[in-house]
Structure 1
Amino acid sequence: MADAVADFFWKRLAEWGVKTIFGYPGDGINGLLGALQRNDLPFEFIQVRHEEMAAFMATAYAKFTGEVGVCLATSGPGATHLLTGMYDAYSDHVPLLAIAGQQARNVNGAHYQQELDLTSVYKDVAAYVQQAASPASVRHIVDRAMRIAKAERKVAAIILPNDLQDVPYEAPVRKHGNTFSGVGWTAPRVVPFEADLRRAADVLNAGEKVAILVGAGALHATDEVIAVANCLQAGAAKALLGKAALPDDLPFVTGTIGLLGSKPSSDMMAECDTLLMIGSGFPWAEFLPQEGQARGVQIDLAPEMLSLRYPMEVPLQGESAETLRALLPLLEQKKEGGAWRKGIEKGVASWWKEAEDRAMAKANPVNPQRVTWELSPRMPDRVIVTSDSGSCANWYARDLKMRRGQMCSLSGGLASMGAAVPYAIAAKVAHPDRPVIALVGDGAMQMNNMAELITVSKYMHRWPNKTWICCVYNNEDLNQVTWEQRVMEGNPKFEASQTIPNVPYHKFAELIGLRGIYVADPARMGAAWDEALASPVPVVLEVKTDPEVPPLPPFFTFEQVKNYMSMLGKGDPKERHLLVDTARQVLSSVLPGGKS
């Protein structure tokens, strides 16, 4: 029997090295699923609860492996459900291939059931999107989609009409109107010309107060960044996606930067005279030096990201590790123990003490910062940590001290809710021998993450290392938005939009074969983490946290403090607590000599 188009399709993806597919079935892809079943190919198909989760998992798989993440959905609503996860990959420059079904070619354009113009739907998010029209076209569509995804670290999409999937495959013939594509791509060595490296070195050598900012593009350049930082006697801050790029036990590493960042990161950027930015698209320019304050050098593989957040004097297109290795011999060793480096290290030490004080402060019942603070020293050496968006991301950003060999990520540029659990599942699929921890707010759990616990239950028996923990911050509040309403808008908490139901997440876990642990006593927090890490089955660790512990930014503007103070007296349901306890923390960040 001759191969159908669907048979050829999977065999071609196997030639490209694809091993894992995250998806959900439907009649628009029945031909693809049949071919996947009957062919002996090295694929693992992960059945999710919702197509959006498939795309999140494919994105995270790409982040944790460096390979192209692949997600699969049926036509119509299945195809549109992929979009949020596809935009997550797009925003974080992650290689992803989305495969979607389509109605039969004869009814395309007839307003048929589940027939959508998917080429137009995907056009904004995908660098390459094609709907196959004939058997021979499938070969070059697959090859080009994979090559673009791998080489450009972008999203590609392939749309396959359901009738085309089952027809016999026909190879292109040698005549006009045909093309013969091939499999394979090898990463080039991308390094700037020496003259441009020398221009960058001149700027960095002239700097007396050098600040470094690293992002996801520096995750594989840890040794090179440390060498450059020590040569320049610089401090180094980390964007959220670059949190694992530098270990936090280095005294000159100031931690994360931005709204979720640390005070020493903000202080360093406010005082530096030179900025070296490596592999980062960090979005909040107000946390970078003021325009004209510092001379800038930037290294990024994507030329469209150069000189985008700060006007760089020397923007260099290049791979981070290779470019830093080429740059290092041109840099002059600055004197060790200078005032700039000493000041940074003093600020870092002070910050970690302040973070501990904040984490151990009394709350009702559990301080959410303590949840992550207690986890930090207990994290296994090879752990992978994921975080959702929301107030839990503040504690993830500030309180986890990353060590070498550990990995972590979240939805960065898109900052989507609902990504932590699918990210954690993908981490376990990619590295089944590594422990995995997801930090999730109760809003994201109710939105879409609870259902994916069923996926954990379905696949946990395949994992040689069973350590998989979902930590839920249960505060019955959409907390990040509540605080944004208070501080940015000067409005009290809007209970109709912000208060969410109290759900026993740990009991749901037990219903589906996982272990549930519940914590409402702060003194038990450390022991609960020990129990979860020692569990022989995946765990949902539910912590009853205080929603009135503010996710403080590293500094407040006068306008934000004015908004916050104007909000008091407008009827916030927690007004007394805000007046007595929280206002003291907010004001301490702007009053001279204030301490939280």
Structure 2
Amino acid sequence: MFRKTAGEELVDLLIEWGVDHVYGMPGDSINSIIEPLRKAQDKIKFIQVRHEEAGALAAASYAKLTGKLGVCMAIAGPGAIHLLNGLYDAKLDQAPVLAITGQIESDLIGTGFFQEVNLERMFDDVAVYNQRIMSAEQLPAVVNQAIRMAYTKKGVSVLTIPDDIQKFEVDAKARITTSSFTMPELFPQKHDLEKATSALNKAEKPVILAGKGAKDARESLLAFAEHIGAPIVLTLPAKGIIPDEHPLCIGGLGLIGTKPSYEAMKNADTLIMVGTSYPFTGFLPDKAKTIHIDTDPAQIGKRYPTDIGLAGNADKTLKWLTQNIEKHTDRSFLEHHQELMKKWEEKLHNQENDTSIPIKPQRVMYAVQQVAHDDAILSVDVGNVTVWTARHFRMTNQRFILSSWLATLGCGLPGAIAGQIAYPNKQVFAICGDGGFGMTMNDFVTAVKYNLPIIVVVLNNHKIAMIKFEQEVMGNIEFGTELTNPNFAKYAEACGGIGYRVEKLEELMPAFEKAVKQNKPCIIDVIVDVNEAPMPAKITFAQAAGYTKHMLKELFEEGKIDLPPL
């Protein structure tokens, strides 16, 4: 009678759960899993990455984009350690991910053997489920539970499988459980809804702050906002939930937000938070009645004082509220901020039309806007590039992903790889700074190897520019921010892709127009103005004072201001 090995059983269970690809790098302690993956290539693909961190970041991005399980794999020791950054990204952004790692043989654990690391302890903080497989018979039930936990807890599950156990046969009487999960549908309690109704009926200056928890509630969110005459402010992870140019949208919040959203929050008498636990509470109203809608009751009131909590699904809760509260006829608060938004947009358009050299980053985002399809995927890295994309790319129906809570440099390229695998017929852009791209650029060859026609846009200023700006705002002279970069266009060609180097304004649009017509991975390397600072919408006195202090220090150091005699 044929019996499957634990490695074969694992692969079959992944297929049963609907997993169609795994990111990883082969190695000695997982070769007994790699072999069944090879045999099942018609059902599940193994995507070989050049660094396990990129594999984990890609798995997290795939989960963020699709809601489906992202899976990554690594050997014991160094490979497993490399996964951690991407797994923490998944944990903090609540993305369902399964990490499978090898381990030295069972009877060697605890002896200090080659590449031995206590993986259960190492993964304990990042994981919602973290188990070492103790026997082949145990594996089916544990795999099912790991995947079920990743989905239901929206987090990371880790399975550590010793090398010898992967090879053992699974007994026919092994514990078998179900390869499925079920989620509850939450709706707020009646007395909470009644309190919210009363508060909303009295609201004169309501503002909505929508987070990624509202991503499946576009129509109900817009209908609710229209009903109460409230402008909608979006958190960064929620960008694209409603179109950026919708009349009810007044942009983002915080240092990368808009001035109209800052003003709306300052003047609001009622704040409705939908699917967000916004961390930068200094940008929220000082005194406002606050209603917080979230499917996770633990998030309600976690970071900001909440008067009324509505633990429920955003779509159904907003529909109920719209049907049960009075329609607001006074639109003056909304209309005032709509007028402010028109002036803000005019300011942004002027920046995007700046023709000076070096090329302004805002001008690059305008170029992306011109060629991006309505359903394109944008994987955005961390740094100044996040600011330029958030402010200057106007989302319609595109998808936008980034490392939101961890904000890890290097997420842009792995996210684009995952995006192209998830949606092979859509345009996919990685929008990166030179610092972020340099972190994971070796995996551009992964895109080449698997014929993934992603377009990588590198805003190249030879600086870790956001840190330069932060140092200057503190009143310090910048230090440690200089980058020595290769020609990224030539690098693309060396990898087998296509590269475009843009130094002059007249080269910008032709490069983008050519790139989107190619069916190969491309890098557009744009030299941008290093001195273009991502100024916040509202500059505080402390920021202005710090920047002035920095300028004075520079002038003294350069000898352009004489020190008074002692």
Partner of 1:322: 316
What is the distance in 2 between the residues matched to 1:223 and 1:433?
26
Shift of the alpha carbon at 1:373?
2.4
The one-letter code sitting in structure 2 at the alignment partner of 1:94 is A
Equivalences for residues 550-565 of structure 1 within 5 A: 550-565=533-548
Equivalences for residues 126-165 of structure 1 within 5 A: 126-165=127-166
What is the distance in 1 between the residues matched to 2:321 and 2:70?
32
Q: For residue 187 of structure 1, give the secondary structure of its aligned residue in structure 2.
A: coil
What is the distance in 2 between the residues matched to 1:410 and 1:145?
25
The one-letter code sitting in structure 1 at the alignment partner of 2:217 is A
What is the distance in 2 between the residues matched to 1:112 and 1:41?
37
> Which of 429, 433, 442 does residue 451 from structure 1 map onto?
442
What is the distance in 1 between the residues matched to 2:120 and 2:467?
34
Partner of 1:430: 422
> Which of 406, 416, 419 does residue 414 from structure 1 map onto?
406
What is the distance in 2 between the residues matched to 1:576 and 1:196?
65
What's the CA shift string for 1:227-262, capped at 9, x where partnerless? 111011100111111001110121220112111111
Partner of 1:54: 55
The one-letter code sitting in structure 2 at the alignment partner of 1:445 is F
Partner of 1:217: 213
> Which of 426, 431, 452 does residue 439 from structure 1 map onto?
431
Partner of 2:298: 304
Q: How many residues are aligned here? A: 559
What's the CA shift string for 1:425-468, capped at 9, x where partnerless? 000000001000111011112222x21110110111xx5xx4x2
Gaps in structure 1 of 5+ consecutive residues: 174-178, 578-596
Q: For residue 570 of structure 1, give the secondary structure of its aligned residue in structure 2.
A: helix
The one-letter code sitting in structure 2 at the alignment partner of 1:315 is G
- Check the 8 A contact 1:48/1:452 in 2, yes or no: yes
What is the distance in 1 between the residues matched to 2:559 and 2:6?
67
Partner of 1:354: 347
Shift of the alpha carbon at 1:137?
1.4
Structure 2-normalised TM-score?
0.95
What is the distance in 1 between the residues matched to 2:191 and 2:541?
45
Partner of 1:389: 382
What's the CA shift string for 1:492-544, capped at 9, x where partnerless? 111xx111113100111112222111211224433332222222322211110
Shift of the alpha carbon at 1:94?
0.9
The one-letter code sitting in structure 1 at the alignment partner of 2:292 is Q
The one-letter code sitting in structure 2 at the alignment partner of 1:304 is A
Shift of the alpha carbon at 1:187?
2.7
What's the CA shift string for 1:529-576, capped at 9, x where partnerless? 222222232221111001101101111211111111011132279989
The answer as to 2:205 corresponding to 1:205 is no
- Check the 8 A contact 1:252/1:344 in 2, yes or no: no
What's the CA shift string for 1:163-215, capped at 9, x where partnerless? 10001112556xxxxx6532211332111123322222222222111111111
> Which of 336, 345, 360 does residue 343 from structure 1 map onto?
336
- Check the 8 A contact 2:222/2:248 in 1, yes or no: no
Equivalences for residues 167-316 of structure 1 within 5 A: 167-171=168-172, 181-290=177-286, 293-316=287-310
Shift of the alpha carbon at 1:119?
0.6
What is the distance in 1 between the residues matched to 2:301 and 2:64?
24
Partner of 2:11: 10
Shift of the alpha carbon at 1:73?
0.7
- Check the 8 A contact 1:73/1:99 in 2, yes or no: yes
The answer as to 2:459 corresponding to 1:476 is no
- Check the 8 A contact 1:360/1:367 in 2, yes or no: no
Q: Closer, same or farther in 2 for the Cα pair 1:203/1:121, shift >3 Å?
A: same
The answer as to 2:493 corresponding to 1:510 is yes
Shift of the alpha carbon at 1:302?
2.1
Partner of 1:490: 475
The one-letter code sitting in structure 2 at the alignment partner of 1:115 is E
CA-atom RMSD in angstroms: 1.9
Q: For residue 254 of structure 2, give the secondary structure of its aligned residue in structure 1.
A: coil
Q: Closer, same or farther in 2 for the Cα pair 1:317/1:498, shift >3 Å?
A: same
What is the distance in 2 between the residues matched to 1:419 and 1:512?
20
What is the distance in 1 between the residues matched to 2:181 and 2:352?
48
Partner of 2:564: none
- Check the 8 A contact 1:363/1:549 in 2, yes or no: no
What's the CA shift string for 1:322-374, capped at 9, x where partnerless? 222233211221116x2101111111111111112223335441111111123
Q: For residue 568 of structure 1, give the secondary structure of its aligned residue in structure 2.
A: helix
Q: For residue 213 of structure 1, give the secondary structure of its aligned residue in structure 2.
A: strand
What is the distance in 2 between the residues matched to 1:447 and 1:317?
40
Structure 1-normalised TM-score?
0.91
Gaps in structure 2 of 5+ consecutive residues: 561-566
What is the distance in 1 between the residues matched to 2:365 and 2:246?
20
Which stretch shows the higher mean deviation, 521-530 or 389-398?
521-530
- Check the 8 A contact 2:357/2:505 in 1, yes or no: no
Q: For residue 245 of structure 1, give the secondary structure of its aligned residue in structure 2.
A: coil
Which stretch shows the higher mean deviation, 314-323 or 564-573?
564-573
What's the CA shift string for 1:365-384, capped at 9, x where partnerless? 11111111232243211100
- Check the 8 A contact 1:23/1:46 in 2, yes or no: yes
Q: For residue 157 of structure 2, give the secondary structure of its aligned residue in structure 1.
A: strand
Q: For residue 483 of structure 2, give the secondary structure of its aligned residue in structure 1.
A: coil
- Check the 8 A contact 1:4/1:169 in 2, yes or no: yes
Shift of the alpha carbon at 1:148?
0.9
Q: Percent of counterpart pairs with the same letter?
A: 34
